[in-house]
Structure 1
Amino acid sequence: MCMKNIDPVADQIVLVKERYAGPIGIMTTSTGAPISYTDATNSLNTVLMNTRNLLETLSHLNRERIPERVVHAKGVGAFGYFEVTHDIRYICKAEMFSRIGKKTPVAVRFSSVIADKGGTDVERDVRGFAVKFYSQAGNFDIVGINLPMFILKDPVKFPNFIHAIKRNPATNIRDFKTFWDFFSLTPESFSQLLLQFSDLGIPASYINTAGFSVHTYQVENEHGKPYYVRFHFTPDAGIKTLTTEQAKIIAGEDPDYYNRILYRAIANGKFPSWTVGIQVLTLDDVKKSNFDVFDVSKSLPLDKYPLKKVGKLILDRNPKNFFADVEQMAFSPGNLIPGILGDPSKLFEARRFAYMDAQFHRLGANFNKISVNCPYRTKTLTYNRDGTPPVKDNEEDIPNYYPNSFNGPVPYMDTHKSQLIEIVENPEPDNFDQATEFYNNVLNSDARSRLIINIVSTLKLSTPMTQKKVVAIFEIIHPDLSRRVAQGLNATQTSEECVI
């Protein structure tokens, strides 16, 4: 094959063949017994119960699928490393920031929120941007998104949010009546909602997608002094987007468009990279801020808390097997390491439970012993035993209870126990100031027009009652936004009446 014409995606299986002079070995059963040509190619006129190969493959086929993620089901992953380029040890003592030039292996998963596994990559949606740092002090996960704020701040609303944006329980079809009804009753969502319906709602590729931790993490230096940071991942290839019209064409031709671009780029040695930065606040900044800096439905103003560079995130390896390396990836905001304490908000607290519970359900009790999730750069010693495989060495022959008198693992003696600060969260903050800023000062005239078209295209499918509520909320954000959405809805209704 001419190397110039090789596509690492379309020709992946051909490239596998070219690596070997012939078959890589003899087929076996899962117990290692060789399988004969007759058993592999014919089961007619045989006693099926005596045909181990057939019984094993049929029974395994029935068990090949694990529960699909309820959200972020459609995604793609890759591997690489994070390299420190700027010293922030005076802010955070975490092992992965210990020196300039320090490299920490990472796994990254990009995903859609709404789409099912078989959906299209390019629908208008928020994107997940999850990073697992395999630090020598354990795994640290940032489970972020591609927008600087989240849709809501109260965890009790989250299950209802997911039900509203997913499939109607009666029709099993996505329903924009429920979508817009939920948002019309959840004002805090509108800052992110405007970004989602702007050009940012459809990235050009994952290589051109930014990432945000959304949460404001409490971290500390080696002296125990706290700081508060939000992580940003800025694509070195630039933030680029698709228009709705471009996305419609791509969706019909290649539903795995983002997956294909990322895999091909890495396979061709064009490694995607992101500049990693943090916004930094002191405890005094937190106390003096005129809004809750832990409110995930708001971004932190960059003019007030500018980005400080930390390092580079580089992806240089594709998964060898998608199921093993990506489908089994398990992220959790609760995966923290010394020096990074987490976020004191109730949303973060709820996510610590929800993500771990999701992994137990999808992958079983030993999900952190699955290779892609294993904190392989540190020795794990727990008193947890047995359960759904894999169990690896199952802690071998050491005691399985603590405390014990037989030299089992012991906790380290902490002379200073750091604690997250306690905060009081306002259930009714100013929900619209950042949405107003975005519409008025960030979007240009053309971008505003596209925003209006994108909103009207789905809002017109909701009920008149919901449309009235949404237009009223837009009036608070900006009168021009409200007026133009209302005009768009009226024009749509008039056009439909004429057709009828």
Structure 2
Amino acid sequence: MSANRLTTAGGHPVSENQHSLTAGPNGPILIQDTHLIEKLAHFNRERIPERVVHAKGAGAFGTFRLTKDMSDFSIARVLQGVGKETPLFLRFSTVAGEKGSADTDRDPRGFAVKFYTEEGIWDVVGNNTPVFFERDPLKFPDFIHSQKRDPVTGYKNPVRMWDYWAKSPEALHQMTILFSDRGLPDGYRFMHGFGSHTFSLWNRSGERFWVKFHFKSLQGIKNLTPDKAAELAGTDPDYATRDLFEAIERKEFPQWRVCLQIMPEKEAETYSVNPFDLTKTWSHKDYPLVEIGVMELNRNPKNYFFDVEQAAFSPSNLVPGIGASPDKMLQGRLFAYPDAQRYRLGGNYQQIPVNRPLNRVAHYQNDGHRSEPGFGYDNYEPNGFGGPVQDPSVTEPPLRISGDADRYNSHKGNDDYSQAGALYRMLAEEERDRMTSIIANTMLQVPKDIVKKNIEHFSKCDPDYGKKIAEKVGL
């Protein structure tokens, strides 16, 4: 028996794989050709639902090596013991484009890290930007709809984008990054990553610290010019995916410094900006970066679909000692991300190898799509048969909250302009000129009343910001 013998998915040997079973040489195909039926039926199901955002991506395996013990700040074992190494998988992506879109589109880039810790999966699901367009998850679907295809025409329309932004100045900080040179990173190796949200650490004394995660590229920052990005979109739309894969194959393993900004819990109450507002950054003067380790990618997936496409990230994957915060966008994502994975991959998506914890899993969930054999005990708790039980030692310290339940206006009294203006003034004059030209070019077919409203917002960030755009659109 040949070791290379072709079989069906059920392991049955296939006698013929070139010609269908027919009634006579010219007759119709018979439904009893089970090999043909299986091939066609599986082919129809080869594609799982596309991610609504972050559909196009690339990824690789690697390690995180801790260089600074953080046990004073967290009970998380992944952050304890200098030299400790933790395996990981990192997925990069564009955000708004579909599965077949170009890697070089002007768009934020997803930067999602899955750490396989001894206490379970820890996911840091961020972008290559420290902020985002929205601060309230109630607006996230609306924002994404404004960036996607027009439901009437089927093509993208900048009028919809700028109409939304005219009414959403909270996006100005992220917009300034998006339209700057960093809106077109040269592949995935030459950009920083950010957890973006505010998370928490807590130690054995019950002290809580608010933190932000930063991943600083040791390859440096490289960006594409708009002309080069447009050229690559036509000649090599998988440019960033190819660059990452081939660099790792050449053993040019990309690395990032892992850093934290750390804020004692009490200081959040009096800080100059809301530290849980995703449209804001913390000053590095107030909370300087603390380097805690190095992250390296050193192994390509053996199969793109198996690992990259099925990789499922969620900020709700948090290990003891690392927690969430009152960040409203984070709170929304704690539900939305695992819910999206259950829709795409099934209720047992965490049994897929790339998503599976390395440590022992013990729970009372069973059955459903992709289900694997149970744990050898009944599926309820409390019980009298010695099943797994809760562990109070990993309880998070209580979070003090106050106030009435209401739909509070997070825009009221909020300064949406200062940080965007400060970023604009940090850019070199030639980059400001490029950025305002790019913004103006996207507005050329947009109605003047929408353009004027957006220019008012840019002018509030910095008068020169609005003036340059106004001149370039002929206002």
In which range does the TM-score fall when normalised by the shorter chain? Answer: over 0.9
Secondary structure of the equivalent of 1:48? coil
Map of 1:237-256 to 2, 5 A cutoff?
237-256=219-238
Alignment partners' CA distance in 2, 1:188 and 1:307: 25
1:458 counterpart residue number: 442
State the TM-score, normalizing by the size of structure 1.
0.90
Aligned to 1:469: 453
Q: 1:309 aligns with which of 291, 312, 335?
A: 291
| Superposition CA RMSD, Å | 1.6
Deviation at 1:439, TM superposition (A): 1.0
Report what 1:405 is aligned to.
384
Query: Offset of 1:249 from its aligned partner?
Result: 1.0
Shift of 1:421: 4.5
Kindly indicate whether residue 321 of structure 2 is the aligned counterpart of residue 339 of structure 1.
Answer: yes
Residue equivalent to 1:494:
none
Give the structure 1 partner of residue 22 of structure 2.
Answer: 45
Report the identity percentage: 40
1:415–1:462 CA distance, 2 compared to 1 (3 A): closer
Counterpart of 2:366, as a letter, is R
Aligned equivalent of 1:484: 468
Change beyond 3 A, Cα 1:419–1:190 = same
Partner of 1:93: 75
**1:447 counterpart (431, 440, 444):** 431
Q: CA deviation at 1:83?
A: 0.6
Q: Does 1:257 align with 2:239?
A: yes
Indicate whether 1:432 and 2:417 are aligned: yes
Question: Does the residue aligned with 1:120 lie in a helix, a strand or coil?
Answer: coil
Please give the alpha-carbon distance, in whole angstroms, between the structure 2 residues aligned to 1:276 and 1:321.
Answer: 28
Partners in 2 of 1:473 and 1:483 — Cα distance?
Answer: 11
1:44 positional shift = 4.7
Name the CA distance, whole Å, in 1 between partners of 2:105 and 2:39.
36
Indicate if the aligned counterparts of 2:111 and 2:125 stay in contact, CA closer than 8 A.
Answer: yes
Is the 8 Å Cα contact of residues 207 and 397 (structure 2) preserved in structure 1?
no
Query: Which residue pairs with 1:31 in the alignment?
Result: 10
Deviation of 1:419 (Å)? 3.0
Give yes or no for contact 1:342–1:420 (8 Å, CA) kept in 2. Answer: no
Post-superposition CA distance 1:42-81 (Å, at most 9, x none): 2153563333321211111111111100011111111111
Give 3-state SS (helix, strand or coil) of 2:216's partner. Answer: strand
Cα displacement string for residues 323-357 of structure 1 (whole angstroms, at most 9, x for unaligned residues): 11011111011111100111222211111111111
Specify the code of the residue in structure 2 equivalent to 1:383: Y
Alignment of 1:285-300 (within 5 A): 285-300=267-282
Contact 2:87 2:117 (C-alpha < 8 Å) held by counterparts: yes
Report the CA distance between 1:414 and its aligned residue.
3.9
Aligned to 1:114: 96
* Residue 355 (1) aligns with residue 332 (2): no
1:282-317 superposed Cα distances (whole Å, 9 cap, x missing partner):
123212311111111011111211100010110011
Aligned position for 2:26: none
Distance 1:24 1:483, change over 3 A: farther
* Matched residue SS, 2:392: coil
> Deviations for 1:335-380, whole angstroms, at most 9, x for unmatched residues?
11100111222211111111111011101110111111111x2111
State the shift of 1:24 in Å.
Answer: 6.2
Tell me, yes or no, if the aligned pair for 2:217 and 2:257 is still in contact at 8 Å. yes
Q: Which structure 2 segments of 5+ residues have no match?
A: 24-28
- Check if 1:56 corresponds to 2:38: yes
1:392 partner amino acid: E
Gaps of at least 5 residues in structure 1 are 1-22, 492-500
Q: Deviations over 1:144-197 (max 9, x none)?
A: 000111111011110000110000000110110011111111111001101100
Matched positions, count: 463
Q: Quick one: which amino acid aligns to residue 27 of structure 1?
A: L
In the alignment, is the contact (CA less than 8 A) between 1:153 and 1:296 conserved in 2?
Answer: yes
Name the CA distance, whole Å, in 1 between partners of 2:400 and 2:61. Answer: 34
Q: Which amino acid letter does the alignment assign opposite residue 298 of structure 1? A: K
Partner of 1:267: 249
Q: Which residue of 2 aligns with 1:5?
A: none
Q: Contact (CA 8 Å) 2:251, 2:298: kept in 1 or not?
A: yes
Q: What is the aligned counterpart of 2:352 among 329, 352, 370?
A: 370
Superposed, which structure 2 residues align to 1:152-167 within 5 Å? 152-167=134-149
Q: Letter of the aligned partner of 2:9 in structure 1?
A: S
C-alpha contact (below 8 Å) 1:233/1:274 kept by paired residues: yes
Distance between the aligned counterparts of 2:123 and 2:289, measured in 1? Answer: 20
**AA at the equivalent of 2:45:** R
Q: Is the 8 A contact 2:202 2:396 kept in 1?
A: no
* 1:231 correspondence with 2:213: yes
Compared CA separation, residues 417 and 91, structure 1 to 2 (3 A): closer
Aligned-pair distance for 1:257?
0.3
